[in-house]
Amino acid sequence: MTDISNVLTNRETTPLEKLAINGQLALNKLINTVEEIFATLGTSSNENTEEIQQKVTESRNKYKNVSDELNNIIGQVDVIWTNKQEETLTKNKMEITETEKDLTIKDLIQTRDTLLEESETQKNHLKALLDRTYELQFLIQTLLASSEQQEVLPDT
Average pLDDT, the chain: 77
Q: What share of the chain has pLDDT > 90, as a percent?
A: 6
Residue type, 30: L
Element (H or E) spanning 118, and its range? helix 49-149
Backbone angles phi, psi at 152, to 5 degrees: -90, 120
The band of 49, judged by pLDDT with boundaries at 50, 70 and 90, is confident
- Separation of alpha carbons 72 and 95, rounded Å: 34
The band of 5, judged by pLDDT with boundaries at 50, 70 and 90, is very low
The C-alpha torsion from 70 through 76 and 82 to 87, rounded to 10°, is -140
For residue 155, give Cα distances in angstroms to 43, 144, 152: 153, 22, 9
The confidence score (pLDDT) of residue 3 equals 46
- Separation of alpha carbons 13 and 26, rounded Å: 18
Weakest mean pLDDT among 6-15, 97-106, 107-116, 146-155: 6-15
CA 11, 14, 19, 20 dihedral sign is negative
13: pLDDT strictly greater than 80: no
The confidence score (pLDDT) of residue 113 equals 92
* 71 or 156: which leads in pLDDT: 71
134: pLDDT strictly greater than 50: yes
- Separation of alpha carbons 65 and 55, rounded Å: 15
Average pLDDT estimate for 128-144: 87
* 53 or 81: which leads in pLDDT: 81
Average pLDDT estimate for 25-52: 72
